[in-house]
Structure 1
Amino acid sequence: MPARGRRTAAGDRKALGALGEQAAAEWYEAHGYSVTDRNWRVREGELDLVLLAADGSIVFCEVKTRSSDRFGSPLEAVTPVKQRRLRTLAALWLAAHEGIGGAVRFDVAGVVLSSSGEPEVEVVQAGF
């Protein structure tokens, strides 16, 4: 029975993460960005969102979602180790998508569910 509980908890985390990524993507689209890629995976890891800004720059966004802010801001979860991994992943993405280029920026989107269950999105542009 414990294994089943873990799967349920993992499923809940996955659903929460998907909700946060969708909310962040909608925030970016409302602010004039185009979503170029979602959940781009390679052996080294995953990029949550890759976006194209109106000025042609590429934005790599790490999305962190929490069901509440009781354990701190989700933005605090992007550690220096995670930042290095995201830079590596961005280089791999750019190499795999020759011809797409321009300036590069790394954003962090923190999503917290409000008491009514609605996602509240906070984006830190050029977060690292």
Structure 2
Amino acid sequence: MRGADAEARAAAHLQGLGRELLQRNYRMRGGEIDLVTREPCGTLVFTEVRQRRTRRHGSAAESVTSRKLALMHRAAQSYLIREHGRDDLPCRLEVVTIDGPADNGVLQVLPLNT
């Protein structure tokens, strides 16, 4: 349930930034996007949420691998085609990290360069 708590906190944070939450846990064969939001300017944002209760195995940001980034990119393209019929809409990928407990750990929004 901790993953769901982290995703709920991340979604609330992103909505607080003025984004519209379009979908949670978009799944496709071989990949998933935790949150899909739309910024007020219309840009779609595909978000991976990562939480680490302790730093014993590294930070939440350090848990995002190149393989995960590739899967996110593929899932984002799938979403664009399935939901909008095209893959050339303005969009970007990001990771929301929470280091510590889901309810009050340090939350950061990290844009990704892909």
TM-score for both structures, normalised by structure 1: 0.78
Q: Percent identity?
A: 30
The two structures, once aligned, show a CA RMSD in angstroms of 1.9
1:112 to 51, 74, 99: 99
Contact 2:31/2:74 (<8 A) preserved:
no
Indicate the structure (1 or 2) with the bigger Cα radius of gyration: 1
Q: Does 1:57 align with 2:40?
A: no
Alpha-carbon distance between aligned partners in 2 of 1:31 and 1:42, rounded to the nearest angstrom:
27
Unaligned runs of 5+ in 1: 1-14
Does 57-66 or 96-105 show the bigger shift?
A: 96-105
Contact 1:16/1:66 (<8 A) preserved:
no
Contact 1:29/1:35 (<8 A) preserved:
yes
Unaligned runs of 5+ in 2: none
Alpha-carbon distance between aligned partners in 2 of 1:19 and 1:67, rounded to the nearest angstrom:
12
Contact 1:16/1:67 (<8 A) preserved:
no
- 1:6 corresponds in structure 2 to none
After TM superposition, the runs of 4+ consecutive aligned structure 1 residues lying more than 6 A away are none
More helix by share: 1
Give the match's secondary structure for 2:81: helix
Count of aligned pairs between the two proteins? 112
Q: Does 1:41 align with 2:31?
A: no
